Amino acid sequence: MHEAIWIIPLAPLVGAYINGKLAALYARRGRGPSEKLIAAIGVVAPLVSFVVACSVFLHFRGLEGAERMVIVDLFPWIVSGNLNIGFSLMIDSLSMLMVLVVTGIGTVIHIYSVGYMHGDRGFARYFAYLNLFMFSMLMLVMGKNLLILFVGWEGVGLCSYLLIGFWYKDLANAAAGKKAFIVNRIGDFAFLIGMFVLFVATSRMGEGTLDFVALRAMVSEHPQAFAATATAAGILLFIGACGKSAQIPLFVWLPDAMAGPTPVSALIHAATMVTAGVYMVTRLSFLYLQSDVAMAVVATVGAFTALFAATIGICQRDIKKVLAYSTISQLGYMFAALGVGAFSAGIFHLMTHAFFKACLFLGSGSVIHAMSGEQDMFKMGALGKKMKITALTFIIAAVAIAGVPPLAGFFSKDEILLYTFTSHLQPLGMVLWGLLFIGAGITAFYVFRAVFLTFFGERRYTDEVAHHVHESPLSMTIPLILLAVGSIFAGFLGVPGVLGGSNHLHHYLEPSIGLLAAHGDDVSHAVAAGHASQSAEVTLMVLSVLAGLLGIFVAYILYIRRPDRPAQLTMKLGRLYHLVYNKYFVDEAYDAMIVKPGYLISNRFLFNLVDVKIIDSIVNTIGVGTRLMGSLFRLLQTGVVRTYAFFFLIGILYVIYKMVG
Amino acid sequence: MDLISTVTFLPLFGAIVLMFFPREHEGASRVFSFLVTVVAFFLSLKLLYGFQTNADMQFVKDMPWIASLGISYKVGVDGISLFLVLLVTFTMPIAVLSSFRAITDRVKEFHVCMLLLETAMLGAFVSLDLFLFYVFWEMMLIPMYFLIGMWGGKRRIYETIKFFIFTMIGSLLMLVGILYVVFQFKAQTGTLTFDLFRLYDVQLSAQSQWLVFLAFALSFAIKVPMFPFHTWLPDAHVEAPTAASVILAGVLLKMGGYGFLRFAMPLFPEAALRGAPIIVALALIGIIYGALVAMVQKDVKKLVAYSSVSHLGFVMLGLFALNSIGVTGAIYQMLNHGLSTGALFLLVGIIYERRHTRLIEDFGGLTRVMPWFAVYFMIVTLSSIGLPLTNGFVGEFLILLGAFKANPMWGIVAAIGVVLGAIYMLWMYQRVFFGEITHAENENLKDLSGREIAVLAPIIALIFFMGIFPNPILRRMEPAVDKFIERVVEKRVARESQAGFEEFVVENDAGAGEVR
């Protein structure tokens, strides 16, 4: 059974194809199959993947470390010169975890979508795109080489583009989709170059390859020889990750991406696609470990993004935008972990985040659904009474992200903070810890600000809206409950030793991370484990919990006890508030510095001056013949085509005659 | 007749028969020429079927033609020209079928031109004799002049002249070059021959080799077209009828790259290496420049035309990377460009037939009224911007990797073109297909008809097939590509030992890159 891992990506592809056909037929004929059929196909496809993934997982249970590996070479894909790229899939411990997260949470979100998208004209199209996304994402995490990973990488980008612009009649949505694709392409540009660097470097050492297994073996064999390559390729590939995972300076597309349907935001723009960069860096951990520079870049960008995005999250009015900036910030935490060598901590946070952030997004979707599309939190309030399940699950997820023990976010975030603090890259590690620590407090604040504004306090909407407010259907609340349960318990997979746990997840991932065990145990572990005394570890833990609680408390004071204060504060802070509220004007800066000048130069200078005025005038004045030929051609034009064709034919006949004769 | 000659001359034969058709029976002319092109396509598949994966010229037919001048009728295909021949025979039925409703004036003559053009293009790809090649090369131009000049748009006369000036200059220079090479060869060996493979051994002084290479290169560069010789292309496309645009973009533009590959580079390897930095520079400028200018176009067809300048810059870059990955990628990209740009022109033609405008601002929101059209357009767009699992990705990736191997800066600059490609294509797509319908005329547009789907579906199928299974094609190309590189590089190495070329050795090291 476990050799059939190709079923995992194939099932959603088949689903996408069938629903795509149905969508196209529906669009043409104006009527089509029932939503039930479409939903059944759409939900069963990822479910099949999930079941197969579980069977592989069970198969893995009996195996030791490096034996947990299934490889399927389907067919040679691109072969030319010394380039030999196979269409090959692989599942090892790391991929296993990713596949389970993607298919598990993916299936849940597909179920939620059935209720959320009910009655939409594009119902079939929606599920086709969503299944296509599952296919691409699974290719990404199961690819055995960088190029198959890139297939998924671009594929998820395409699906993201299609789904952000799902309601394409509103040009703003379509523009947001396009922006996402293009910003990602800028990252992909660096990603491509990074691949080239790796390939050329390995070619020089004998065998050019982009295969993860082969690369890891090569790097393990000669770690020192890869130092320069690791820096160059590592940074370039990370720029690609900055695009996909919305890190500074390429994060600008993610907030706009909230234009898509909310389940899409949950699945693609929170739980799975945006974590692709984290997965990719972890997948290449053996390479990154060879370059302190590349690692420092990853950690620094991650930590700065974590704090930067969190501050923007404070001022947003739109509930989805709060969650979007929160996602950017949380991804920053993951990268910070990777950068200090705590790869399993990064993946741990990726997993817990997938639960609680998907839960938050779906919860916000449930609210938006009930409020007939309203997303401004300042027009909500007191929804908790009417939407008990939504409110409860949302609060559970909020507590989890705030880092309150014993919920999921506490364990994973705490591990990240610990490892940055004890990183061997000092004093950088301390600085990063400081940023992340402040970020933790702010995270708790903005997420509880959202909780209080949405579910508590006074009602700030009209009676008419109030009339419609209702708890969402079961197809939506059951996924919420499932994800909330995950938000509570997922953390127990990684309970640290100091709290009496044994950090299962860390051990499970070990075989996939760092150099091959036979070669460089000491290197990977020294970096990853970063030792601190037990008392220091406990102190850090207490501090981060306190930061979270403080954030919650401040939010409570400002939005429940003294709801008049925020407005006064805004007034007081004036300019600063304005700056943060407008997201530091990054979009505007890009527009003024790159987009507009680029267009102007292309239009005024390149096209109208160089092409039309310079080159064409030269051509038009070339030789004396221009006008002459003009008149000559006029003569030709007055003739009958047949005459010319006839002469032409005579010539050809002569040629043939000579040839045969 | 042998297989290659049959495929090549079948359309000509069809054209002769078609001439005797009564002028009133337009439908008969259409169906007849369509059938001829379809038969030619199936015959050409026998070439693919019988092709052995090795570096040799196959299906070779060699017989004296004008013996007194050393001119022979020599044709054959290798792994490079085989697929270009297939590209011609595949594109022609599609182009003919696409013209069924668009061409209503002088229908018979139109199809005669189309069939003559097919023979000329096939002939140029299979010729192994320089004179024969030149005959077909010139023969291609005549029907093309007529196609643009008679069935074109409003400014067609001006454009035909522009096209004429550009291509005539190139052709004449090439003719001079051919004659020079032939006479030099005669002076050296005493044999008068136009046989390409024998002429490969011609010995030229550095200076004269450089000049002759420039003559050939200019002729081919205009055809490609490379910056700054590209300005005839957008205008020719805008005026040309859809079918002619499809052939122009799909096949004719490949002549330039093919000319470099078969003639200019193997005949004059030292000069080719000496010129490589210049040509690569122009290719890189073309990639970026074409993309930026495409971005600001208001007319969809012009946008696609400028995108061709950018895409063909990739092709030239791959060729002059001079390693097997880059060259393979370049040839693959020629096929891709033929398919995806051909398809884009078909799509633009389809909407033009309905609305008689191609301005982007006249559209918007078309997805709602023409969903199938939108889907097909999207798939072709994705192929054009090189999304993985479409054909475009394979070509672009190989070219960029090959270029990067030769010189990292080349790969990096060219990769910027990939980003720009996404910008201009998706921006155009958004303005044409998304949003609300803003022009009342667009409310009642009809979606694709059965005939239009029949025109597009084979291309769509190939876009995916060539993206997922490129290897059957790459594998067949590889030996011929290796032989080409060997010829260009080894000939140079052999000559270096003869002294007199030291100056190039130094210069060429940068251009030769990984070749050694």
Of the candidates A200, A637, A652, the beta carbon closest to that of B12 is on: A652
Sequence-distant (≥ 6) Cβ neighbours of residue B488 within 8 angstroms = B265, B266, B269, B272, B273, B322
Asked whether the predicted pLDDT for residue A657 surpasses 90, the reply is no
Rounding to the nearest 10 degrees, give the CA dihedral for residues A472, A473, A479, A485: 70
pTM: predicted TM-score of the whole model, two decimal places: 0.90
A630 — pLDDT class (breaks 50, 70, 90): low
pLDDT (tens digit per residue) in B33-67: 999 999 999 999 999 998 888 888 889 888 888 88
Query: B379 is written with which tokens?
Result: 């798939």
pLDDT (tens digit per residue) in A323-372: 999 999 999 999 999 999 889 999 999 999 999 999 999 999 999 888 88
Of the candidates B161, B325, B436, the beta carbon closest to that of A630 is on: B161
B interface mutation test: which of A13, A25, A77, A80 has the most B CBs within 10 A?
A: A80
Phi then psi for B195, rounded to 5 degrees?
A: -65, 120
Contact B401 A83 (CB under 8 A): yes
Sequence-distant (≥ 6) Cβ neighbours of residue B86 within 8 angstroms = B44, B45, B47, B48
Sequence-distant (≥ 6) Cβ neighbours of residue B122 within 8 angstroms = B7, B8, B11, B85, B88, B89
Question: Domain-by-domain residue ranges, chain A?
Answer: 341-581, 587-660
Asked whether the predicted pLDDT for residue B207 surpasses 90, the reply is no
Element of type H or E holding A84:
strand A83-91
Residue B63 lies in a domain: no
The predicted pLDDT at position A633 comes to 56
Asked whether the predicted pLDDT for residue B508 surpasses 50, the reply is no
CA–CA separation, A553 and A452 (whole Å): 11
| Total domains, chain B | 1
Phi then psi for B388, rounded to 5 degrees?
A: -55, 150
A interface mutation test: which of B385, B405, B477 has the most A CBs within 10 A?
A: B405
Residue B450 lies in a domain: yes
Facing residues of A143 across strands?
Answer: A89
What's the distance, CA B189 to chain centroid?
35
> In sequence order, which ranges of B224-323 are alpha helices (DSSP H)?
232-239, 242-247, 254-259, 265-267, 269-295, 300-321
- CA distance to partner chain A, nearest, from residue B121 (Å): 14
Query: A96 is written with which tokens?
Result: 């296993």
For residues B346-370, average pLDDT: 87
- Higher per-residue pLDDT: A331 or A36: A331
Residue B178 lies in a domain: no
Contact B426 A182 (CB under 8 A): yes
Q: Is A171 on the interface with B (CB under 8 A)?
A: yes
Q: Are A22 and A33 in contact (CB under 8 A)?
A: yes
Sequence-distant (≥ 6) Cβ neighbours of residue A570 within 8 angstroms = A577
What's the distance, CA B178 to chain centroid?
22
Q: How many residues does chain A have?
A: 661
Contact B367 A168 (CB under 8 A): yes
pLDDT (tens digit per residue) in A249-278: 888 888 888 888 889 988 888 888 899 999
Place of tokens 């996924």: A479
Whether residue A76 has a cis bond before it, omega within 30° of 0: no
* Percentage above 70 pLDDT, chain B: 95
* Percentage above 70 pLDDT, chain A: 90
For residues B81-88, average pLDDT: 94
Asked whether the predicted pLDDT for residue B512 surpasses 80, the reply is no
For residues A216-242, average pLDDT: 90
Q: Is A232 on the interface with B (CB under 8 A)?
A: no
User: Cβ–Cβ contacts within 10 Å for residue B30, how many?
Assistant: 20
- Higher per-residue pLDDT: B454 or A655: B454
- Chain B residue numbers with beta carbons less than 8 Å from the beta carbon of A87 are 468
The predicted pLDDT at position A485 comes to 92
What's the distance, CA B157 to chain centroid?
24
CA–CA separation, B28 and B26 (whole Å): 5
Highest mean pLDDT among A103-112, A602-611, B99-108: A103-112
Of the candidates B146, B297, B415, the beta carbon closest to that of A192 is on: B415
Q: Are A73 and A148 in contact (CB under 8 A)?
A: no
The whole-chain average pLDDT of chain B stands at: 87
Q: What share of chain A is helix, strand, coil (3-state, %, to 5)?
A: 80, 5, 15
For residues B343-363, average pLDDT: 89
CA–CA separation, A127 and A43 (whole Å): 8
Asked whether the predicted pLDDT for residue B503 surpasses 60, the reply is no
Write the secondary structure of B415-478 as one string of H (helix), E (strand) and C (coil). HHHHHHHHHHHHHHHHHHHCCCCCCHHHHHCCCCCHHHHHHHHHHHHHHHHHHHCCHHHHHHHH
Q: Is A170 on the interface with B (CB under 8 A)?
A: yes
The predicted pLDDT at position B382 comes to 93
- Higher per-residue pLDDT: A626 or B260: B260
3-class secondary-structure state, position A144 = coil
Asked whether the predicted pLDDT for residue A462 surpasses 50, the reply is yes
Element of type H or E holding B151:
helix B130-151
The predicted pLDDT at position B304 comes to 92
The predicted pLDDT at position B129 comes to 92
Q: Are A243 and A187 in contact (CB under 8 A)?
A: yes
For residues B392-404, average pLDDT: 94
3-class secondary-structure state, position A132 = helix
Place of tokens 């705490």: A414
CA max distance for chain A: 105
Q: Please provide the DSSP assignment of A478-543 as one string.
A: HHHHHHHHHHHHGGGGG--GGGT---HHHHHHGGGSSS-HHHHHHHHHHHHH----HHHHHHHHHH
Sequence-distant (≥ 6) Cβ neighbours of residue A528 within 8 angstroms = A341, A342, A343, A344, A419, A513, A514
Q: Please provide the DSSP assignment of A526-565 as one string.
A: HHHH----HHHHHHHHHHHHHHHHHHHHHHHIIIII-TTH
Asked whether the predicted pLDDT for residue A643 surpasses 80, the reply is no
Contact A200 B296 (CB under 8 A): no
CA–CA separation, A288 and A338 (whole Å): 9
A376: which DSSP letter? B
Asked whether the predicted pLDDT for residue B385 surpasses 60, the reply is yes
Residue B99 lies in a domain: no
The predicted pLDDT at position A536 comes to 81
Phi then psi for B380, rounded to 5 degrees?
A: -65, -40
CA–CA separation, A657 and B4 (whole Å): 18
For residues A425-435, average pLDDT: 86
The predicted pLDDT at position A221 comes to 86
Q: Are B332 and B84 in contact (CB under 8 A)?
A: no
Q: How far apart are the first and last CA of chain B?
A: 43
Domain that holds residue B321: 268-488
Highest mean pLDDT among A109-123, A408-422, B214-228, B333-347: B333-347
CA–CA separation, A196 and A208 (whole Å): 10
The one-letter code for the residue type at A67 is: E
3-class secondary-structure state, position A290 = coil
Element of type H or E holding A75:
strand A70-80
Sequence-distant (≥ 6) Cβ neighbours of residue A504 within 8 angstroms = A493, A494
The predicted pLDDT at position A586 comes to 77
Q: What is the ipTM of this complex?
A: 0.88
A–B CB contacts, 8 A cutoff, strictly below: 192
> In sequence order, which ranges of A117-170 are alpha helices (DSSP H)?
123-142, 146-164
Q: Phi/psi zone of residue A292: left (φ > 0), alpha (ψ -120 to 50 degrees), beta?
A: alpha
For residues A645-660, average pLDDT: 57
For residues A409-420, average pLDDT: 89
Q: Please provide the DSSP assignment of B43-68 as one string.
A: HHHHHHHH--SSSS-EEEEEEEEEGG
The predicted pLDDT at position B247 comes to 92
A33 — pLDDT class (breaks 50, 70, 90): confident
A524 — pLDDT class (breaks 50, 70, 90): very low
Q: Are A336 and A349 in contact (CB under 8 A)?
A: no
The predicted pLDDT at position A539 comes to 86
- CA distance to partner chain B, nearest, from residue A323 (Å): 27
Of the candidates A175, A192, A200, the beta carbon closest to that of B405 is on: A200
How far CA B377 is from CA of A94, B372, B424, in Å, comes to 38, 8, 14
Facing residues of B299 across strands?
Answer: B359
pLDDT (tens digit per residue) in A567-619: 777 777 777 777 777 777 777 777 777 777 777 777 777 777 777 777 777 76
Sequence-distant (≥ 6) Cβ neighbours of residue A624 within 8 angstroms = none
A32 — pLDDT class (breaks 50, 70, 90): low
Asked whether the predicted pLDDT for residue A523 surpasses 50, the reply is no
Phi then psi for B61, rounded to 5 degrees?
A: -125, 120
Contact B398 A649 (CB under 8 A): no
Q: Each residue of A332-343: b (16+ CB within 10 Å) or e?
A: bbbbbbbbbbbb
For residues B346-355, average pLDDT: 90
3-class secondary-structure state, position A85 = strand
Place of tokens 């996304």: A133
Contact A169 B150 (CB under 8 A): no
